[in-house]
Amino acid sequence: MSLVFDDDERMLQDAAREFLAAESPVGALRALRDANDVTGFSRPLWAKMAEMGWAGILVPESHGGLGFAHAGAGILCEQMGRTLCASPFLATAVLGASLLTGAGSAAQQSALLPRVADGTLLLALPVDERARHDPLALATGARAADGGFRLDGAKTAVVDAQVAGMLLVAARSAGAPGEAHGISLFLVPAGTPGLRVERIASVDSRNLARVALDGVAVGADALLGPLHGGWPALERALDIGRCCLAAELLGVAGEAFARTVDYLRQRKQFGKAIGEYQGLQHRAATLFCELELARSAVLQALRAADDAQASLAAHASLAKAKAGATATLAVNEAVQMHGGIGMTDELDIGFFMKRAAAARTLLGDGYYHADR
């Protein structure tokens, strides 16, 4: 398993860094926040991403995608973390595309994946029903009715549900909360009677939503994967999402560290740069080491997804937990080493701190993944 990028991956990294620096700097997120934008991202920017193939990076070439390795999706997520780019990439291009590819029938894939790849269809994956991530605890019910299914329940903290054209809903068709058996997956188009989506603004200026399903009727062709047997595909899609989210956290941490080191070189006190003081040098060196450890864990998890290894779950949990802890350390150190201005809204460091806090808990925090 290679823990370095190959030539194609390095080219993708350089292109993504250049594109995002020009098209989606941190100031773009600040503008979205100040405008209280209900969409939560720039649609023209997403269209450009789709033109570059990013929306279909995990979509097979046979359905109009790039069919790139998962490491490529992680590369994009890391660069998005460095500029705090707000986009539907995680919900649609990672979670949604992975679940459709892993569980969808040939007809479902042919109908939906090309629209995902060209950026015209946005997806959302409503799973969690509690304040803390626990996908096995879902209790949303799915019962057979009129030749199809009726869905009843509620979901919380669903990424991009307010803009999604299709929801991939996890529901329980058998068994009890806590059991893997009995989980089924369903395609629910936006606007279906009985489906209600309520936007909530997250601390990191991104959009989440509460989703309520009150007698939502779907046909038999809405079933995604086997009845009662949706858990393996759902777990793998969540693990791929965790790997990519860990990569984004790595980008958040890396950019916070770079900005802090730059400030240590520029800020002077008592006639010399504060970076010359040994106490701050030691803290910066410690953070650098933590970043390198997190980088290895993240890339190893992405390689495990590429190789379809049975150990993906362990690698994904390790990467998510380590990247979350490292990002927390990086943003905390950034605020402290910037001094008083680190707490002001004028400085962008606060945006990195908020994104680290939100992304750390999304798809499971360190406690969840240590237990897992």
Instruction: Please indicate, yes or no, if residue 2 is contained in any of the structural domains.
Output: no
Q: How far apart are CA 347 and CA 240, in angstroms?
A: 33
Pull the structure tokens for residue 74.
């992680």
253 and 184 within one domain: no
Residue 330 lies in a domain: yes
Q: Which residues pair with 123 in a beta bridge?
A: 166
Which range (40-44, 84-88, 138-142, 270-274) has the least confidence? 270-274
Summarize the confidence of residues 74-96 as an average pLDDT.
98
- Mean pLDDT score across all residues of the chain: 94
Biggest CA-to-CA distance, the chain: 79
* Residue 205 lies inside a defined structural domain of this protein: yes
Question: What CATH number is attached to the domain comprising 61?
Answer: 1.10.540.10
pLDDT at residue 347, as a whole number: 87
Q: What is the pLDDT averaged over residues 214-242?
A: 97
164 and 248 both lie in a single domain? no
User: How many alpha carbons fall within 13 Å on the CB side of residue 272?
Assistant: 4
1 domain residue, yes or no: no
Q: What percentage of the chain exceeds 70 in pLDDT? A: 99
Who contacts 67 (Cβ-Cβ below 8 Å, separation ≥6)?
A: 58, 59, 60, 61
18-60 pLDDT tens trace: 999 999 999 999 999 999 888 999 999 999 999 999 999 999 9
In the chain, how many domains are there?
3
CB-neighbour burial class of residue 25 (10 A; exposed 0-12, middle 13-18, buried 19+): middle
The pLDDT assigned to 1 comes to: 59
| 249 Cβ neighbours under 8 A, 6+ residues apart | 81, 294, 320, 323, 324, 326, 327, 356, 359, 360
- Top pLDDT among 266 and 287 is at 287
Question: Is residue 275's pLDDT more than 90?
Answer: no
CA gap 320, 330 in Å, rounded: 15
Q: Which CATH number belongs to the domain containing residue 292 in this structure? A: 1.20.140.10
Of 89-98, 176-185, 276-285, the least confident: 276-285
Residues 205 and 323 in one domain: no
**337 CB-side CA count, 13 A:** 31
Domain presence at residue 308: yes
pLDDT at 311 over 80: yes
Shared-domain flag, residues 69 and 104: yes
Average pLDDT over residues 191-206: 93
What confidence category does residue 164 fall into, taking pLDDT thresholds of 50, 70 and 90? very high
Minimum mean pLDDT range among 77-81, 197-201, 294-298: 197-201
**In sequence order, what DSSP letters do the residues of 278-309 get, joined into one string?**
HHHHHHHHHHHHHHHHHHHHHHHHHHHHHTT-
**Residue after which a domain boundary falls, among 121, 148, 177:** 121
The predicted model gives 135-144 an average pLDDT of 96
Q: Half-sphere exposure (CA, 13 Å, Cβ side) for 132?
A: 5
Separation between Cα atoms, residue 128 and residue 343, nearest integer Å: 32
- Asked which of 174, 194, 228 is the last residue of a domain, the reply is 228
Q: Domain check: are 218 and 266 in the same one?
A: no
In a domain, 238, yes or no: yes
Chosen domain end from 195, 228, 261: 228
Do 135 and 98 have their domain in common?
A: no
On the 0-12 / 13-18 / 19+ scale of CB atoms within 10 A, 167 is: buried
pLDDT tens digits, one per residue of 238-263: 999 999 999 999 999 999 999 999 98
pLDDT tens, position by position, 314-339: 999 999 999 999 999 999 999 988 88
CATH code for the domain in which residue 193 is found? 2.40.110.10
* Confidence (pTM): 0.95
Strands 123-124 and 166-172: parallel
Does residue 351 share a domain with residue 240?
Answer: yes
Confidence of residue 298 (pLDDT cuts 50, 70, 90): very high
Give pLDDT, residue 37. Answer: 84
205 and 267 in a common domain? no
pLDDT of 2: 67
Same domain, 184 and 287: no
Same domain as 294, residue 364: yes
In a domain, 72, yes or no: yes
What pLDDT score was predicted for residue 310? 81
Residue 273 has pLDDT above 80, yes or no: no
| End-to-end Cα spacing for the chain | 23
Domain span at residue 150 reads 124-228
Residue 66 sits in the same domain as residue 98: yes
